[in-house]
Amino acid sequence: MEECKKRVFSAIQPTGSITIGNYIGAVRNMVAMQDEYDCLYAVADLHSLTVDIAPAALRKNTLELAAILMAAGIDPEKSVFFVQSQVHEHAELGWVLNCYAQFGEARRMTQFKDKSAKAPENVNVGLFDYPVLMAADILLYMTDYVPVGKDQVQHLELSRTIAERFNSRNSPTFKVPEAILPKFGQKVRSLSDPTAKMSKSDSDPNGYVLVLDRPEDIARKFKRAVTDSDSKIIYAPDEKPGISNLLTIYSAFAGVDMDESVKRFEGRDYAYLKTTVADAVIEGLRPIREGYEKLMADKDGLLKTLAVGAEKASYIARRTMSKVWRKLGCVRP
């Protein structure tokens, strides 16, 4: 890793399998940024503790997500790739930064309000504090850029506020991170309701395609995809959300731009569009699925790779924390 490269941090929660929407909108960017930036990528298992998740499920999801990300192209030789809870400094800095985040600021987070409304039986303090832990993730590594989707913009703003507050109360310590707009910004919508975002929490499993779905399931889901009543294949997200969504997915998986995608379907019907998109997705996911299976067949190897990543992350995290403790006046040996 060269010192002159700008540093990027991102993390994904291990809350279950990822959809092709996550793949297109987030993972592809993470993979693409590896050459240009000095990247740190984490599986954010501590964040997942804010929901009621069974230990066996958390463990399974963590390994599964790590394997998917590696199979999709996150290269632990190029980037620092690790599991958040294996680097204890995340929790430590999280605590410190709690004392630099205002209650009123955290209370204004719209994701907190949404999540509390969705699970009123478990509005735990961790859920409230979630964005502060996220700030710790980012600030721990003197991150320059954080690739963020719309839903995380407010959290990144809070991270910046916290960093600036710490720097001005103590002395310049943290780099103030900036959002970076993803190169591939396409949003993927539900196949069964193209006005909604594709999400694995959709009650209709035909609405989303998981990266690990079997080819026959993928084919079926696309066959059922909601379109509209006329028969023109054009890209017009507002008037034709279903067709436009299929074109977006096609363009991502076929690796061609939108103009070229539209051209390829000139004079064709919806049935042809659906099977062609399904085939492109099946083919595009095949190497990921195969890579995933190989990695999961050697759990010890996978655990070792993650441990090496955590060791590399710890090296940076330790240096940050020793500065932080000193600035705070915490007595160290």
Q: Determine which residue in the list 8, 71, 72, 138 makes contact with ligand TRP, applying CB under 6 A.
A: 138
Angstrom distance (rounded) from CA 303 to CA 306: 5
CB of 232 to ligand TRP, least distance (A): 36
Q: Determine which residue in the list 86, 98, 116, 152 makes contact with ligand TRP, applying CB under 6 A.
A: 152
**Tokens 């090496």 identify what position?**
308
Q: Does 129 bind ligand TRP (CB under 6 A)?
A: no
CB of 13 to ligand TRP, least distance (A): 5
Q: Does 134 bind ligand TRP (CB under 6 A)?
A: yes
Describe the strand order of the beta sheet including 7-12 as a list of residue ranges: 80-83, 38-43, 7-12, 145-147, 178-180
Q: Does 79 bind ligand TRP (CB under 6 A)?
A: no
Return the number of the residue (62 or 276) whose C-beta is nearest ligand TRP.
Answer: 62
Angstrom distance (rounded) from CA 328 to CA 308: 30
The per-residue b/e assignment along 11-26, b for 16 or more CB within 10 angstroms, e otherwise, is bbbbbbbbbbbbbbbb
Question: Catalytic site residue 150?
Answer: no
Q: Determine which residue in the list 7, 47, 197, 221 makes contact with ligand TRP, applying CB under 6 A.
A: 47
Q: Which token pair is 207?
A: 């609405």
**Tokens 């958390």 identify what position?**
58
**Which of 6, 175, 187, 200 is flagged as catalytic?**
200
- Cα separation values, 324 from 90, 162, 328, Å: 13, 14, 6
Question: Catalytic site residue 115?
Answer: yes
CA 130 to chain centre: 15
Listing DSSP states for 153-186 in one string gives HHHHHHHHHHHHHHHHHS-S-S---EEE--SS-P
Return the number of the residue (11 or 321) whose C-beta is nearest ligand TRP.
Answer: 11
Q: Determine which residue in the list 137, 158, 163, 174 makes contact with ligand TRP, applying CB under 6 A.
A: 137
Angstrom distance (rounded) from CA 155 to CA 111: 9
Question: Interface with ligand TRP by CB under 6 A: which range of 9-17, 181-189, 205-213, 220-228?
Answer: 9-17
**Which of 115, 221, 240, 274 is flagged as catalytic?**
115
Q: Does 50 bind ligand TRP (CB under 6 A)?
A: no
Question: Catalytic site residue 223?
Answer: no
Are the beta carbons of 29 and 222 closer than 8 angstroms?
Answer: no
Q: Does 11 bind ligand TRP (CB under 6 A)?
A: yes
Question: Which residues would be at the binding site for ligand TRP (CB under 6 A)?
Answer: 9-13, 44, 47, 134, 137-138, 146, 152
For the annotated catalytic residues, the residue numbers are 115, 197, 200
